[in-house]
Each structure stands twice: as structure tokens, then as C-alpha cells.
Amino acid sequence: MNLNELTIKTASAGLRKKEFSAVELTEACLAKIKKRNKTLNAFITVAEDEALADATAADKKINNNSNLLAGIPFGVKDAICVAGMRATGAAKILDNYTAPYEATVIKKIRSAGGIIIGKNNCDAFGHGASNENSMYGPVRNPVDETKVAGGSSGGSAAAVADHECIYAVAEDTGGSIRQPASFCGVAGLRPSYGRNSRYGIMPMASSLDTVGPMAKTVEDLALIMEVIAGHDPKDATTVTDAVPAYTEELEKSVKGMTVGVPVEYFNVKGIDPEVEKIIDAKIDALKKLGCKIVSVSLPHTKYAIAAYYILVPSEDSSNLGRLDGVRYGVRAKTKNLFDLYAESRAAGFPEEVKRRILIGTYALSAGYYDAYYKKAQKVRTLIKRDFDEVFKKVDALITPTSPFPAFGLGEKAGDPLALYLSDIFVSPAAVAGVPALSVPAGVTKAGLPVGAQLIGPRMGESVILRLGHHLEINQ
């Protein structure tokens, strides 16, 4: 096995026993990136020199008491800031931007000895479900290069699946970690809103944005969460609850747990029967592990996409206002101020970002605020209540992550509504602020990965990680 194919768990064991060095592990990942980046396009920036310098430093320090992330190379979504490193958010308006400060989650991993190998491609500022909205080109799916990697964290998912890094840190506003994880066959966790600090993340929709890990196993996700979760004085939305020992929780039995199967996520129009079959098999697996399976209903699920695509563009239009060619990034050369704004933004944003700003500005305008934004907020409360009610009866929910496996590059590119609808199973948990995990569940006849989504109650990451881990080790 090549070193870059190891998991965090196995790589850290090898590092401690000095079977290989952090430099060798980093070199193995860099070699894979060099070989594959032209085709897959999973990285916008490769931090070769920084990574090798950090790995050399890590080798001097690693001992049996080191954190398990010490000496392990990881990728960072390009919408997350790393001090001194280029951060484009996959939009040309930030083509020349170097982050002057560091996201808290990244700072935490680096203090544990983690090694940043580069910045992963994504849909511009997180807008998309196929990674085709990147101004640095789309990401191809390593399993089938004619297919998309998913989005918006498609670069992170492809890089992990292709063993170009051991794991990745990404962002999920409405599915961006879970859907690409499902398309590429890796594990990805969207934590509860407020569990992990978003300080240093380029904001998209502030009331939904979360930061989470993507890795080869659920066990690795738990390891990463133990390092990155927790209160941050720099992010007032983070909770002060203690961070559980996620890795210990994983080992506990799932026998006697109650798992709900929401009727609204099955037998719906547009769901691929192969996906449904694969998820059904996982429901059976949970039964065999001693879980009680019950049918439940989340009646407002059908409104989640509509509410999401009002709330997100509205918050987007406000957050993206800071990118105007004046304060940072690329500035168009013009004769007057109006043209400076217009031309900088016209050239610096892809179509989808412009579409969101226009929709959001409209939804927030004085005449329409009550009809759209306020209404969407009310619907959001109803969706949240559905989850509150159902979690009185069950420990977790299981659903497909996506109604279909990875689709062809270009297949939905001209149809924004079709892309929005692909978020149908991932947006409800995001709107409600509850945690959700995508775990590899199987492959279709064509060999394309399918993910199962486990949704938990607020701050219930331990529960879904435990269920996901047991599904993974009892294949």
C-alpha cells in the first residue's frame, strides 16, 4: 500500500513507530497531486514548500504523546483562510488575495501538528452542487472522470477519495460536505450549527454555514472533530458545551438505539431506485446490529429547498457585498467609481454567484421582505419543529444523502433549478441546524458511490458518528 492511501489512524500509528516519516508521507501525497491535478483539478493551490517544511518540523517532535493529527497532510477548502496562503474561494475576484489571518479550526489542527498540503477547489464561495461553478475549472470525480465530484466541496472530496491528502476540512451550508462525500465515496460530517468555529471562513449564508471534516473513515472524522470542535471567543455563535470524546463514543454498541426512516425521503419523484436499494440494505444492516427501525414523518420536508433558496441568497447578497473590488481582491481598471464596482464584480464572480446576489437583493427589498424572506424564516421554524418532534422518538434518522449518484459533467450545468433540487435531502438538516453525516453505503451497477445520510439531534454528533462507524465496520 502506498503511504498516501493510509487513514489518519493507520498513518499516525506508522509515524509513531517510525516506520516512515511525516516527510515521506507528505511526499507521497504531493506525488499523487502532481500526477492527478491536471485531470481531476482538486487543488487550486498546492503548498509544497510549506508542507515539506512543516513535515520536517513534525518529524522532530512526533512521539507517543503527540496528537493523532501530528504529521498528517490535509487539504483545506479554498473558502477557508490559512494565514499567508492564497485564498480565492474559487472566484477570480480574489485571484490575488493572500489571507492575512487563519481560521480557528485550521489553527487548532496546526497546533496539533497537522500539515496543510494545499487549498481545494470548490464552487465559488460554496455556491453549487457540482463544482462546476468554480472559476478555476470543474473537479472531476476520481471514480469516473466523466462525472462531477459534487459540490460545493468537490475538490476536497475528490482529493480524499483519490488519496491526494489523508483528509480535508471543508464547509457545508446546505450539503456541500455531504453530497460530494456521497458522490466520491468518502465520509463527511456537517456538525451542528455552533459546534465548530467559523472564524476565518468566507461567509456564504451566516445562519447556516458550518465547518466540518471529510475523511476516508468515520473514525477519522471523530478524531478530527476532537481537535476542531469547541467554543471560540472569535465566533459568538459557537456553543460552550464541552466537546465529547467522539472516538470513545464510537466504540459503544448501537444495540437498542432507535433509528427513524422518514417517509418523505423515500419513494419520491426523481430518486434513483438503485440508490433506494442501497440505503434499504443499510437499514437492514442497522436492524441486524440491534437497532429498532421506525417509520417517521417530517411533513415540512417538501418546503426545505424553497425556504433554503430564499434564505441563502438573501444572506449571500449581504455577505458578498464586501467583495466590490475596493476593499480587497482584483480591481477593474476603469474611469469612474460606478464602473469600478460593476466591472470588478462582473469579471470576478461566476454566473451562479451573480444569480444569488440578484435573487437575494430582490427577496430582501422593502416591498418583498415580508412575502419572501420573512415567510421563509417562518417555514424554517416549521422544518426545525419537525426535527424537534421526531427526535423525541428516535435517536437518529437514516436517509439517502443524494437522490442519485454523481451525474455527468455539463449534464445539469445549464439548469440551475435541477441543481438546486439535487439538495433535496441535504438541505432540511442545514435549515434546522442539526448535524448530519454522509457515510459510504455501496456502489451502483456502474460502480458509482452512494452515501447514506445519518441525521442527529442538535449537538448529537456522537450518536451519528457511532452509527456510521458501526455501518462502516460491518459491511
- Residues recognised as catalytic: 77, 152, 176
Q: Which of 437, 443, 435 is nearest to 467 (CA)?
A: 437
| Closer residue to ligand GLN (CB): 26 or 121 | 121
Smallest separation, CB 68 to ligand GLN (Å): 27
Distance, CA of 410 to CA of 194 (rounded, Å): 35
| Closer residue to ligand GLN (CB): 14 or 416 | 416
Query: With CB under 6 A as the contact rule, which of the stretches 37-45, 122-130, 386-394, 456-464 interacts with ligand GLN?
Result: 122-130
Smallest separation, CB 471 to ligand GLN (Å): 23
Report how far Cα 260 is from the mean position of its chain's Cα atoms: 24
| Closer residue to ligand GLN (CB): 56 or 377 | 377
Could you tell me if residue 317 is left (phi over 0), alpha (psi between -120 and 50 degrees) or otherwise beta?
A: alpha
| Closer residue to ligand GLN (CB): 152 or 462 | 152
- Take residue 187 and report the three cell numbers written for it: 465520509
What does DSSP say about strands 115-120 and 73-77: parallel, antiparallel, or unpaired?
parallel
128-157 binders of ligand GLN (CB under 6 A): 128-129, 152
Q: Does 126 sit near ligand GLN (CB under 6 A)?
A: yes
155-194 binders of ligand GLN (CB under 6 A): 171-176
- Take residue 159 and report the three cell numbers written for it: 482529493
Residue nearest to ligand GLN (CB): 176
Report the SS3 class of residue 348: helix
Sign of the torsion angle spanned by Cα atoms 261, 267, 269, 271:
positive
| Closer residue to ligand GLN (CB): 230 or 350 | 350
Distance, CA of 321 to CA of 314 (rounded, Å): 11
Work out the angle at residue 176's Cα, subtended by the Cα atoms of residues 306 and 139, and round it to the nearest 5 degrees: 120
Smallest separation, CB 128 to ligand GLN (Å): 5
254-293 binders of ligand GLN (CB under 6 A): none
295-324 binders of ligand GLN (CB under 6 A): 312
Smallest separation, CB 312 to ligand GLN (Å): 5
Q: Which of 96, 118, 94 is nearest to 106 (CA)?
A: 118
Q: Which residues bind ligand GLN (CB under 6 A)?
A: 126-129, 152, 171-176, 204, 312, 423
